[in-house]
Structure 1
Amino acid sequence: MAAVKIIKVLGTSTESWEDAAREAVAQASSTVENISGIEIEDWTASVEDGEITAYKATVEIAFPVQNE
């Protein structure tokens, strides 16, 4: 059985929560190899003057532990 490591990454977007989650995965994939799945832990947003200005997605990213 393989071991899996999970990290949390916060993605942000001015467009949507879905884009924020995609951004989290895109940023993580630049330094993490073999991402095998994600789980959205939380959706939040920044608000100014009654309008959402930034969507935020806290994403748990899973990838296999590498034996060196």
Structure 2
Amino acid sequence: MPAVKVIRVMGTSEESWEAAAHEAFQEASQSVDDISGINVEKWTADVEDGEIVQYKATTEIAFPVQH
């Protein structure tokens, strides 16, 4: 089994937590090759006037270490 590196990435969305997690993955995939997994660590949101205005997903992105 190869060694795996894990980085933490936060995604945001005005639509949903799922969209925020997807945004984190999309952003990471622009600079990280061969992503092998994503784990959502934490769901949070910003609230204004009693409404959620921004969803946030803190994720861990895993990928193999290149030798």
Q: Which amino acid aligns with 2:54?
A: A
Do residues 56 (structure 1) and 56 (structure 2) align? yes
SS at match of 1:25: helix
TM-score (norm 2): 0.99
Q: Which amino acid aligns with 1:31?
A: S
Point out where structure 1 has 5 or more consecutive residues left out of the alignment.
none
SS at match of 2:63: strand
SS at match of 2:32: coil
Count of aligned positions: 67
Point out where structure 2 has 5 or more consecutive residues left out of the alignment.
none
Q: CA deviation at 1:18?
A: 0.1
Find the counterpart in structure 1 of residue 7 from structure 2.
7
Do residues 30 (structure 1) and 26 (structure 2) align? no
Cα distance in 1 between the residues matched to 2:6 and 2:52: 29
Which runs of at least 4 in structure 1 moved beyond 3 Å after TM superposition?
A: none
1:25-66 superposed Cα distances (whole Å, 9 cap, x missing partner): 000000000000010000000000000000000000000000
Q: CA deviation at 1:7?
A: 0.2
